[in-house]
Structure 1
Amino acid sequence: YLDSNNFTSIPQSFFLGLTNLQTFSISDNPNLQPWSFPTDLTDSTNLQSFQASNSNIKDSIPDIFTSFPSLQSLRLSYNNITGSLPPSFGGSEIQNLWLNNQRSGLTGDVTVLGSMTQLRQLRDNQFTGMVPDSIMSLPNLVNVTLRNNKLQGPMPVFKDGVENDISSNSFCLPNPGPCDPQVTALLEVAGAVGYPMALAESWTGNDACKGWSFVTCDSSGKNVTTLNFGMRKFSGTISPALGKLTSLRSVSLNDNNLTGSIPKELVSLASLQLFDVSNNNLSGPIPEFPQSVKFSHDGNPLLGKTIPNGTDGPPGSKGGTGGSSGSPSGSPKGSKVSAGMIVGIVVGVIVFIGIVLFVFYKCCGKKKHQKFGRVENPEVGKELMKPSVVGSSSNGYAGGFSELQSQSSGDHSEMHVFEGGNVIISIQVLRQVTNNFSDDNVLGRGGFGVVYKGELHDGTKIAVKKMESGVMGTKGLNEFQAEIAVLTKVRHRHLVALLGYCIDRNERLLVYEYMPQGTLSQHLFEWSEHKTPPLSWKQRVSIALDVARGVEYLHSLAQSSFIHRDLKPSNILLGDDMRAKVADFGLVKNAPDGKYSVETRLAGTFGYLAPEYAATGRVTTKVDVFAFGVVLMELITGRKALDETLPDERCHLVTWFRRVLVSKENILKAIDQTLETENEETLDSISKVAELAGHCTAREPFQRPDMGHAVNVLGPLVEQWKPSRPEEEDGYGIDLHMSLPQALQRWQADEGTSRTFDMSFTQSSIPSKPSGFADSFDSMDCR
C-alpha cells in the first residue's frame, strides 16, 4: 500500500517478476511522472486488487487481463487514460471497476463489460453506444454507475436490487421504452462503425429528423431519405440495418475505411437512387442493384475478388453492378465471355513462363553444382528428406525427419560436396564402425529412427543417426542440401557438431561427435536406473551456463540468427567432464533480424512450448528463452516439465513453479532433494537461478530476457573453466576453427598420402576428423 504520498516516479522494471503480488495500491500520488498501466504485471498471476486512482496514469489500458484470473478490484479513476476498454475485460473476473473521471475521457462502447458481476463507476467519460442487455442481466450485479457519458439507445432497465446511476447520457427517451424504429436502425448503423463521437454528440432524442447530423429527411419531416457519411474517416462495416430505412434515396459512405461486404438488404430499398461506397476497403461479392441505382464502388480493390467458378467472368463484370465508375447499373452479358477468355489467356501465359523459368533454373543449377565435383553413384537412393516436426527423443541426437519425396533419377544420382564443407561418408564405413548397426550399439530410439554408437579402429567414438525411410514424408534434394548447409553454419563449443552424412538407397544417416555421458535427461530423471550419482548443484549451474552460451550463439553470434525450437534435457548432451552441448538441430529455423515467422504446424515438445508459439505459431528467439527457463526449473527441482504421475495442480512444472517462486522458504521446499543445500552460498545461487527461470518463462515474449542476459546472470555463479590441455579446448580433439576440406588435407599430409582434392571453394568451418578417419572417410561415392 503506497497511497497518499508524494512519489515522483516508478522504476521502469518495478513490476517485473512480482509473481506473488496479490494487492497493489498507489492511489492519490498526483506528483508521479505520467506512466502507463504496467504490462509487466502479467507475471503477477495471483493479483487480486490493483488501485491507482489519481496517480497520473496515461495512455490506453492494455489488453492483458486474461493474465489475472483472480483480479476482482480495479480502480483507475481520476487519471488521463484514453482509448477504449480492452477486450480482455469481457472475460475477466473483475467485480469492482472504477474508471470514472478521466481527463480526456475513455471512448468506445461498453459491450465488453457484459460478464462483470459488480460493475461500478464508469461515470464521467465519453463512452458511446447502447448499454448491452448482457450488462442488465448480470446475475450478481449489485452496483453500477454509468452517469455523465454519451450512451445512446433505450434507457437501460436493471433488475430489482441493483443500485444504479445512469443520468446525464443521451438515451432516446427519458423513461424506459423502445426507441423510434428509424432511431434504432440508425444506432445500429452507428454501432457498425464503432459509435463515433461525432454521432454520439449529435444523435440525441427520439426523432432522427430533428437536428441529427449527416441525416436528411423528406418534406414531411418524418422519413429519413439521405445518409451522408462521406469522407468522415469512419472505420468498421456497413450495417444491414440500412435496409430498415425504407425511404432512403441516397447513401454516401465514400472515402472512409469501411471493411467487410455490402449487405444484400440494401438491394431491396425501393426508393434508392444513389449508393456510393467508393474508396474504402470493402470485399465480397458485388450486389446487383436495379438499373435505376447509381452505384459507385471505385477504390475497393478487394470488392468482387471472390474465387470465380465455371465460366464466370471476373468479379464486377456481372450485369447490374453498374461498374465502378458510378454509371447506371447493368452491363452486357457478353462482357463475361470476353473477360473469361482474357483470364484464360493470362493464366496460360503465366503457366508457360513458369515452365520456362523452371527449366532455366534446373539447367543453371546443374552447371553450378559441377564446380563442386560430381560423383556418379548408381546405388544412391532416390528419396530425399528434410528435418521437420519432432516430439520424440533418441538420446539427444534424434532430430525429426518427415515428408519424404520420391525422385526418380534414372540409373544414376548425383552426389556433391556442398559449399558448407560437410562430407559424404561411406555407408560401408558406417556399417563397419557400428557393427552393422547392431542393437548392442544403440544409444537411443526416436519416432524417426535410431542412434548408434560407432567406434573407429583407433577407438574414437562417433554417433550415427539412422533415419527410418518408412516414416519419412516428401522433401526434395535441394531442401536436404539446404538443411546440411544450415548445420555447418552453427559451430560452437557448446553445440554438438555434425561430422558428415550418408545417403544410401532409402536410408539417410547423419554422423555426429559422440558425447559419452549421454543426455541431461538421464542424469536428472534416470540417474538411479543408470547407477550414476545425481548431479551436484555446481554441475547443474555449469551445464545451464553451457546451454545458455550455445543458444546465445545460435541467436546472435552465428553467421545468421537461428532458433532451436526444441530445447529440453534430452537434447542436451554431456561429455566426460560433464560439460554440456546442445544437440538435435532437426528443428533449427533461420530467424532474420527484426522478423518473426508463423508456423502452421507446431514443432517442439509440450511442456517447453512458449505460450505464444503454442497459441499462434509465432516463432521468435524468445521461444528458446522460454524453453531454457523450463530447463532451469528442471535443474532446480529435479522434476520433469510435464509429469502425469502427479496431481493436476502440480503436473505442469511452469505453473507450479510460479506459485512456488514466492519466497525463499517456498523455494527451499521445491529444491531437488538430492542436492546439498546446507551451504548458504549454494542457496543464494539457487535463488538467483530460480529468479532467472521465472523471467525466462514470462507469459509475454517481450518480457523475457535474451540469452545474453542469461549468460551474464549464470557466469558469475560458475567458476571459470579452463581446459587442462590446449588440444581439449574444443572438446574431444575437434578443431572447430578448421574447415573439413582443410582437415582432410591435413590428415592426408600427416599420413603421407598422395590423395588430393580441390576444396578451395569451402569457407565455413567443420570439426576436424578424429584420429582414424583418414583411411575411411575419403570415399566420396558412398561405397
Structure 2
Amino acid sequence: MAAESLHSLALLLILLLRAAGTASSDDSAVMSEILTKLSPPGWSSSQTYCKWKGVTCDSSSSSRVTAIHLASSSLSGVLPSDLSSLSQLQTLSLQQNSLSGALPSFSGLAFLQYLYLDGNNFTSVPAGAFKGLTSLQTLSLSGNLVLAPWPIPPELINSTSLVTFYADNANIVGTIPGFLGSLPNLLNLRVSYNNLTGTLPSSFGGSTIQSLWLNNQATGLSGGINVLAGMTDLTQVWLQKNQFTGPIPDLSKCTTLFDLQLRDNRFTGVVPTSLLALPSLQNVSLDNNKLQGPVPSSSRGIHITYDGTNSFCNTAPGPCDPQVAALLEVAGALGYPITLVDSWNGNDACQGWSAISCQGTNVTTVTFSKRGFSGTISPAFANLISLRTLLLNDNNLTGPIPDNLTTLTQLQVLDVSNNNLSGLIPVFPTSVKLTTTGNPFIGKLSPGGGSSPSGTNSTSGGSPGRSNGSSLSGGVIAAVVIGVLIFIGVVLFVLYKFCYINRRHRKFNRVDNPEIGMEVAKNGAMNGVNGFGGLPSELHSQSSGDHSDFPVFEGGNVAISIQVLRQVTHNFSEENILGRGGFGVVYKGELHDGTKIAVKRMESGAMGTKGMNEFQAEIAVLTKVRHRHLVALLGSCINGDERLLVYEYMPQGTLTQHLFEWQEKGYAPLTWKQRVTIALDVARGVEYLHSLAQQSFIHRDLKPSNILLGDDMRAKVADFGLVKNAPDGKYSVETRLAGTFGYLAPEYAATGRVTTKVDVYAFGVVLMEIITGRKALDDTMPDERAHLVTWFRRVLINKENIPKAIDQTLNPDEETLESIIKVAELAGHCTAREPFQRPDMGHAVNILGPLVEQWKPTSHQEEESSGINLHMSLPQALQRWQADEGTSSVFNTMSFSNTQSSIPPKPLTFPDSFSSTDCR
C-alpha cells in the first residue's frame, strides 16, 4: 500500500509539473506568435519575452505575462486567436495602431483589468469575446471604424468591476442593454457615433454613471429622458443629435452635473428653471429642438445655447403672455405633445395656434377632441378666464376633473367623455353642459377604487386584528413585531455601512493598478479614452523597481518629480527638443508604454515664497480647465529655482510648421478643408476661454506657433494664460508683449489692455495667414505688403482681388473659392481697428461651422468642454479644491477619483500681475 501511495503521489507531482510547464510554454508560444505577426518595436527573439519593451511578467519563476503595453507602436496585422492563453494577463494596451482582422476572444481571462483596443482597424467582434472577464475595469474600443455591426456584449453583465466602457465610432447597433445601469461600479459610458436605437433603460435611474456619452447615433435614440432625474452622480451628459422627445426632466438632484448637451433632438415643453439653478452646471446646449415657453437665461455665467428650431414665446429672456403661459402649463400636464409644437409658437395664442379659438385677444375655445392625448387635465385651464368651450373627449386622460374649473364664469360646454378619468365630479353651475360618459372610474377616487359617488370610501372584510384561522395572543404578536423591527434595523445598518464604504472606496481609491499606461486621446476622433485631451493615470519610468514613489495624475494639481521627467525625456536631451519659446524649451517625453508627453522647461530664476504661491495657484487653476480644443496642462514640477510644466503631446507640430515650413519639414501643403477645420477648432477653444473670462481666464498671444495639431490634423490652442480679474470684463497685465507685433490689436499694443476682442483680432490675423500662406510680418516683402493685416484689408475692399491674394498651393475650385471669400470677410471683421466693431468668437464659430460641416468630415467631434465652476470666484474655487478630501474627477481619463490636492493648505490669492516667467 505504501508503495502504491508513493507511486500515486509521484504521478500526481509529474502531472502538476507538466501542467506548470505547459502553462509557461503557452505564454512563450503566444508571445512568439505576436512577435512573428506584429513585429513590435523592441521585441527580439534573442531575448526572453519578459525583457521585451512594454512587457511585464510576474515575479515568479513561471514568467507569466501580466501586462503588454504597445500603444501607438505603428503595429499592423492580425492578433493571434489564442491570446486568451495568457491566463495571468491584467493589462493589454494596443490602442492607436493599425491592427486589423477579427478581434480575438478574451474569454476566460479572469485577471484582465484593462483592455485598450481603440484606434485600430478591427473588422469584427466575435460573440462571447468578453465572457468571464470578472475583473475587467476598463474596456476601450473607440475609433474602430470598420467593425462589422455588433451589439453591446451581453456577457459584460458579469463584469461587475467595470468602471469605464468606451466604444465611440465602433459601429455598435441595437438597443442599450438594461444591465449597464445595474453594474455597481460603472462610471463612464461613452458609445457616441454608433447606431444605437430604442430608449434609455429604466435601470439607469439610480445608477452610478457619471459620464454618459450617447450622442450622434446614426438613426437616433428615442423616447423621453426622465430616467436622468434619478442619476444623481451625473457630471456630463451628451445626448445631442438623436431623436429624444418629451420634456426636459427636473434634474435638481443631479448637483454635480456640469455639462449637458441636448441639442438636435425633438424635446418639447418649457426649460425647467431648476436646470439653470444647478450649482455645478457650466455648459448647456438646447439648439434645434421644439422647446417652448420663456427663453432660458442664467445670471451666473452658464454657457447656454438655444438657437435653431425651438419655439420660445419671445426672442429674448422674459415671461410669456399669461394666456400662453397657461396653455403651456396645460400642455405640460399632457406631456407636451409634439403635435402642438409646430403651431404653438410666439407670444400670442390667438395667432394661428392649433386647437385654440379666440374672440379678439381672448381664448374662448380649446378643442382637444380625439387627439390621442394622455396625461391629466391641468388646473391651469382655470387661468383662461374667458374660456367658454373646453372639449377633451375621446382621449386617454386620467385623474380627476380639477375643482377650480368651476370658477370659469363664462364656461358653457365641458366635454370629458370617453377617457379614463376618476375621482369626484365637481359641482358646476347649471349653465354648463357637462358630459362625462365613457369614464368607467368617474365618481371614484382612483381606477379600481371603491369610493362611492358621495366620496365615502367603502371597505369590506373583517377587523384588521382578526384572521381566518386561529388567533394569536397580543404578547406573541408584540414579540414578533419587535423581532422583525430589530432585524430590519440591523439589515438597514449593514446596507448603509456597505454602501457608504463602497461609495468612498469608489470616490477615493479608484487607482489600484500602478501599471496602467497613459492614454492620450487623439485630437478629433474620440477614439482615445478621454474626450478632453488625455490625462495619464500614472507617469513612471521604465525601471522595474518599486513604483510607489511615482505620482498619479488625478485630473490636475499633480506634482511630478524631476527624476521622473529626466527619465522620460532622456535627461532633457537635444534630440528630444520639440521647440523653443520665450519662456523656455519644450521636450518630448515618452512613457514606458510608448505614450508621449510634452515637458516645458521654464527659464530659471529666483523664486520667493510669493512667486512659489503664485505659480502653484495658477497651476491649480489651469489644470482644472479641460476642452477638446485646448492643450491639457497635466502637471508641474518645482526643482529649486526651476519650474516645469507637463502637457499632452501633439504629434503633428504647430500650424506655423504646416503653413510656412512645410517644405523643409517634409509636410504636404495644407488643403483648404484642413485649414478651415483648424480655424474652427481654434475658434471653439478660444470661445470657451472667453466663457471663463469673468473668472480671470483670458487667452493671449494667439498665433500659429501656439496652435498645435494632433494626428488627424485637428487643432488645439496652447499657451493660454491666467491674468488678474478686473471690472467690466477688462484685464490688465504687466508683462512683456509676447509674440510678434503683427498679432496684437492696436489697443493692446498701445495700452496693454486685454479684452476678449484682443483675441478676436489675433484670430483674424491667423485667418489671414491661413488664406494667404503669408506670415503676419514679413521683412522680405516690400513695405506696403510687409504687414499682413494692413495689406489684406486693402485687398478686401474689392472681392475680385481676393483670388490673387490666396495661397497658390490651394488652387481652389469655384465652390472652395466661395468658402475662402467667406473666411476672408470674417478675417476682415475680426481685425477691425475698433474693438466694438469686431464680432464675438461665437460669431466666428457660426460662420466656420457650416463650412466644415459641408465636407462631412470623418471625425464628428464636438466642442464640448469642462472646467471650473464659473459661479465661484477664483479664491473660492481654490479654497474649495484645497478643502475637498477628493477633487472632482470629471476630467479624468480613467475616471480615477482624485486624492488630496497638492496646493499648499493656506488660502492663496492671485497677484496683481504676472511676470514673463509665470508658467506660459
Settle same-fold status: TM greater than 0.5.
Answer: no
TM-score, structure 1 normalization: 0.40
Who wins on radius of gyration, i.e. which is larger?
1
